[in-house]
A and B are shown apart, each in its own frame.
Chain A
Amino acid sequence: MRVALFVTCLADAMFPQVGKATVALLERLGHEVVFPEAQTCCGQMHINTGYQKQALKLVEHHMRTFEPYDAIVAPSGSCVGSVRHQHAAVAERAGRRQLAARAGEVAARTYELSEFLVDVLGVTDVGAHYPHRVTYHPTCHSLRMLRVGDRPLRLLRAVRGIDLVELPDAEQCCGFGGTFALKNADTSAAMLADKLRNVLSTSPDVVSAGDSSCLMQIGGGLSRLSVETRPVHLAEILAAT
């Protein structure tokens, strides 16, 4: 299958290892990965901060970039959530009916990584080997916008050598929330403190998630605590052999 990688702007610029892992994983499973180089950002930060007019340009650009592809995969629940639940609404609000319809079509072909693996490719055992103690944070948009459910956990349980430990209060937000982390930095930090306490209570080598943004928040807090636990994206674990 030919798969267009929507790497997300954050992974592209800050966490290239997540993109590389996604490519390695999909190629190992026998699929052709293409990277439409025109891609930039889905516009979620603009939409969620209230800048819909500016976001509209990014939505249009995203449509043009990804329209030619039958399957679009991103290692992010949040960015796929924006494509699937916000793009058409942004176009609609601007009175751009046709763009909204196009956005709906692209959204229907856009998948978060765990959805794509389990639902489209029909695999849960991706042949990974990862001998570490891991706890998994399910991320709000994967859980409640995309309803990925236990797909990431099913994928992780099939990884050889992994010691997967359940995260207490896993479904609580880590406090990232895009510009929320800056506009309401104190509340965001209080949410993060509780998330970190829960993560560390499982004494993991690795805390994993399907979103680089949430991992940047959790990892940023862990780094401050000078503990050994490190943030690793789901794609990196699934790509490991």
Chain B
Amino acid sequence: MSTFLGMPVVAPRGVGQLRGDEPFPAAARTALANEQLRRNLGHATRTIRAKRAAVVGEVPDWEQLRLAGEALKAATMARLDTLLVQLEEQVTARGGTVHWARDANEANRIVADLVRRTGADEVVKIKSMATQEIGLNEALEAEGIAAWETDLAELIVQLGHDRPSHILVPAIHRNRTEIRDIFLREMPSVPADLTDEPRQLAMAAREHLRRKFLSARVAVSGANFAVAETGTLAVVESEGNGRMCLTLPQTLITVMGIEKVVPTWTDLEVFLQLLPRSSTGERMNPYTSLWTGVTPGDGPQEFHLVLLDNGRTAVLADEVGRSALHCIRCSACLNVCPVYERTGGHAYGSVYPGPIGAVLSPQLTGVEENASLPYASSLCGACFDACPVRIDIPSLLVHLRARHVEEHGPSAEAISMAAVSWVMARPSRFRGGERLMRLGRLLGRRRDRIAALPPPLSAWTASRDLPRPPAQTFREWWRSRNG
């Protein structure tokens, strides 16, 4: 283990998926024009919102659980360094090997080397956000190693040569007819008369995946939690395909963001109540797999844990921004977000979309490289209410907007904002400003409304009218009344 001293680094460019090709407003415009996407997303988020609301509503101490989750995460971040070293000691003592990866490139290198050492040329994968973040599949492919996604939705995304658009439901943007077409095109064994009936689709995927499970010698997973005091890793999933990967192959490689550690075994009690109800809307998670190091004669006989930084230490360095690291990837904030519901996940350009992505991605990459994301929110606050660990996402968005303005040079917007502030800092100037605004009365005289304005206000009038400014402001009325 090398000791790194100096400023924490952000996630590198050119590897993985944390940055989009275009700013959010442009990407959103493309997504909004896709009627099918809007319908798929509207239907899916509405369904999952209702499920979540029902199962959260039946827990009498839900708010206390949220407070506990928040407190545990805050306490963890405050001594993350100590806990990670403790985790390493425990995993090592139980027969595992721990690797520290500063960024995506290091993590990909470590995993590729480990796979190659086993002599395998393919791996089965459990759904994992960390490996999507670092672009592990692409990196392995470049080394001649095939990575097979085994989570049904990830499989759909992989076979469709597509990108995930949701943290929990990566193929949320696809409906079942689209999925059938992908299977017919990409799965060699699938019968030509495959319908879009969900059971048929699941059976086709099952047959496809069974062969992979039985032949693979190496599995790659992420982790939902890692318990520092025992060295135990946890993966939470719904299909059981993850458990196949965790138990059948000889070698297991787990890539985990450093923020996933929890101090003690009993802390899992809180998170395993919060997570399933918030994410899938289930009372209890179907497959919760826990493993500690290596057990001779049972399960993988070689276990590697790759601890991934990739910008997380930089997030930790911001005392306000660091609460984004509390996220347990439930995606409740995506499902309640009015922006996400309409644009979908691809518009965010990162594997972390939606409200949490808008505060996490810019911090991992440096705010300037994802500067449009903190503005991709109306600050309606639905995300904060839904978050099981009470991340105050609206306040984080405002904080990151301020960081963007502070780090960014002068702009036309900065000049106009300064001008408005100058006007509003003195009542006399403000009155003058109001009088100036009255020039707007020259517009829209015919129908008493303004339907077209020059840029940047044309962005308003493209879809909305503006009322004609009144003949008398409130303060003028007040003066005339009390004068």
Please give the residue numbers on chain A whose beta carbons come within 8 Å of chain B beta carbons, in ascending order. 7, 9, 11-20, 23, 35, 37-41, 43, 45-52, 54-55, 57-58, 61, 85-86, 89, 93, 140-141, 143-145, 171-173, 175-192, 216-217, 219-221, 223-224
Contact = CB atoms under 8 A, between A and B. Distances in A.
A48 B421 contact: no
B364 to A, nearest CB: 19
A192 B339 CA distance: 11
B185 interface: no
Interface in B381-424: 381-382, 384-385, 395, 398, 401-406, 413-414, 417-418, 420-421, 424
A80 B466 CA distance: 24
A141 B466 CA distance: 22
Interface centre among A55, A190, A216 (most CB of B within 10 A): A190
Interface stretch (B24-32, B113-121, B200-208): B24-32
A99 B175 CA distance: 54
9 contacts: A7-B474, A13-B469, A48-B401, A50-B401, A178-B378, A182-B456, A185-B462, A189-B462, A223-B465
B4 interface: no
B427 A38 contact: yes
Contacts of A57: 421, 425
A179 B398 CA distance: 12
B459 A12 contact: no
Nearest to B338: A173
A41 B427 CA distance: 10
A51 B417 contact: yes
B475 A190 contact: no
Given A40-B430, A51-B414, A220-B466, A187 B474 contact: no
Contacts of B478: 19, 23, 35, 37
A192 B464 contact: yes
A38 to B, nearest CB: 5
B51 interface: no
Contact of A61 (B418, B425, B467, B479): B425
Given A220-B466, A224-B463, A187 B343 contact: yes
Contacts of B379: 48, 140, 177-178, 180
Contacts of B382: 140, 144, 171, 173
Contacts of B338: 172-173, 175, 191
Interface residues of B, number: 63
Nearest to A41: B424
B467 A176 contact: no
B467 A14 contact: yes
Nearest to A89: B395
Given A12-B473, A16-B473, A186-B32, A220 B460 contact: yes
Given A175-B338, A223-B449, A13 B434 contact: yes
A5 B113 CA distance: 69
Interface of B: 24-25, 28-29, 32, 38, 338-339, 342-343, 374-382, 384-385, 395, 398, 401-406, 413-414, 417-418, 420-421, 424-427, 430, 434, 437, 449, 451, 456-457, 459-460, 462-467, 469-470, 472-475, 477-479
B380 A50 contact: no
A100 to B, nearest CB: 15
Contacts of A143: 381
A93 B402 CA distance: 10
A50 B434 CA distance: 24
Nearest to B459: A185
Nearest to B42: A194
Contacts of A50: 374, 398, 401-406
A162 to B, nearest CB: 24
Nearest to B376: A184
Nearest to A19: B474
Contact of A144 (B380, B418, B475): B380
Contact of B29 (A38, A52, A175, A186): A186
In this complex, the member of A50, A86, A175, A181 whose beta carbon has the largest number of chain B beta carbons within 10 angstroms is A50
A189 B463 contact: yes
Contacts of B464: 181, 189, 192, 217, 220-221, 223-224
A191 B427 CA distance: 35
A192 B32 CA distance: 13
Contacts of A141: 381
A16 B339 contact: no
A14 B469 contact: yes
Given A12-B474, A47-B398, 11 more contacts: A12-B473, A14-B470, A45-B420, A141-B381, A175-B378, A180-B378, A184-B25, A185-B459, A187-B343, A223-B464, A224-B463
Nearest to B30: A186
Residue from B29, B374, B472 with most neighbouring chain A CB atoms (10 Å):
B29
A38 B428 CA distance: 8
Contacts of A187: 25, 28, 32, 339, 342-343, 376
A182 B402 contact: no
A20 B479 CA distance: 12
A54 B421 contact: yes
B184 to A, nearest CB: 33
Give the most central of B25, B343, B382, B421: most A CB within 10 Å. B421
Contacts of B381: 140-141, 143-145
A215 to B, nearest CB: 10
Nearest to B465: A223
Contacts of B430: 9, 40-41
Contacts of B477: 16, 19-20
